A and B are shown apart, each in its own frame.
Chain A
Amino acid sequence: MLRIKFLPYEKAKKEDIKGMLNDLKSGMIIVIDAKLPAEEEAKIIEETMKIVSEKFPGIELSSIEISHSKSETTLDKIKEVIIEKLSGKKRGLTIIGPAKIIRKIEKNPEELLLYT
């Protein structure tokens, strides 16, 4: 049975990486409603490497950043940029899953395709 945990970015930020990795080790897939900053992705990779074992070979991680749509007004875009700067939350999506379950995540600029 596939287990997916949906995490709001604010909660993901508070939850420490080790907690997230425990979920991943137990076979859970994590979906976060934002694009993680590159430094956080690197930190997740670093922490993952510390616990790689025969049973847990690592993770598949992928994120997309959703660009502003053409229909958005300039004011909306400015508002969005301010919110992004203040909260650190980038519009997008991040999926992290155990490599044993997720074979690969294919990515094109605005879509993620998961292969189990």
Chain B
Amino acid sequence: MVIRHIKRLKNRISLIVRRIFKKKKDIKIGLYGPVNSGKTTLANRICLDWLGEELGKVSNIPHETREIQMKKVDMKVNGKSLSFNLVDTPGIATKIDFENFLRYGLKRKEAKQRAKEATRGVIEAIKWLDNMDLVLVVLDSTKNPVNQVNITILGNLDAREIPLIIVANKIDLKKSDVMRIREAFPGYDVIGISAKTGAMINELYKLILKKL
């Protein structure tokens, strides 16, 4: 118990020290969320808007992003500018069933390799949490948001006192329900967007600038 409190205090002090001495250019904005919520689609949207090129490959097969991907972005909205490193992380999951990949037509060997890489990706994503200055928690707004992965991500960000925005993605889809996310996680900034079509993306940019 005492050890945990000391550890927490140590984390808090190191966070404050990092924030004080961190140069503006070192800011890291992380994209976190469950698998297939559209993190890389959002990363690509941001990179296309500000750099003119995409960050990573997108696919319907779960765990397409299995490594941390990072790109430097210079954003300017309404006369305000911000330079940051955009960090796209693999989706967090509690299980990785390689047989699921077979259903998407992957060969056995490929599926096994993908599962192995995906497990490493989840570990990396969790480890990188401590490096973030702001996290965009990307959720699929067509799905029930009350699941353990989402709660664990939010709980860990709260415990580390890392500012966050919940991005309710896929508002272009009929089943999208942003209100359900707002009701599930009251007290957080929630914004509905479509990373695919770009709907409401400018509002997200404004919110990012407001948070940092």
Contacts and interface: CB of A to CB of B under 8 A. Distances in A.
13 contacts: A38-B158, A39-B159, A41-B148, A42-B126, A45-B93, A46-B122, A48-B95, A49-B122, A52-B95, A58-B97, A60-B94, A61-B152, A108-B146
B92 A38 contact: no
Given A59-B95, A99-B97, A42 B152 contact: yes
A54 B98 contact: yes
A107 B94 contact: no
B60 interface: no
Given A45-B126, A46-B126, 16 more contacts: A39-B155, A42-B129, A42-B156, A49-B122, A52-B96, A54-B112, A57-B96, A57-B97, A58-B93, A58-B94, A59-B95, A61-B148, A62-B148, A63-B148, A63-B151, A108-B146
Interface of A: 37-39, 41-42, 45-46, 48-50, 52, 54, 57-63, 86-88, 99, 105, 107-109
Contacts of B156: 38-39, 41-42
Contacts of B127: 46
B186 to A, nearest CB: 12
A39 B11 CA distance: 12
Given A57-B95, A88-B1, A46 B123 contact: yes
Interface in B126-145: 126-127, 129
Nearest to A54: B98
A57 B122 CA distance: 13
A49 B123 contact: yes
A52, A54, A59, A60 — most chain B CB neighbours (10 Å): A52
Q: In which size bucket is the chain B interface?
A: 20 to 34
B94 A87 contact: no
A88 to B, nearest CB: 5
Interface in B89-138: 92-99, 112, 115, 119-120, 122-123, 126-127, 129
A59 B154 CA distance: 19
Nearest to A41: B152
Nearest to B152: A41
Nearest to B154: A38
Contacts of B93: 45, 58
A45 to B, nearest CB: 6
A50 B152 contact: no
Contacts of B98: 54, 57
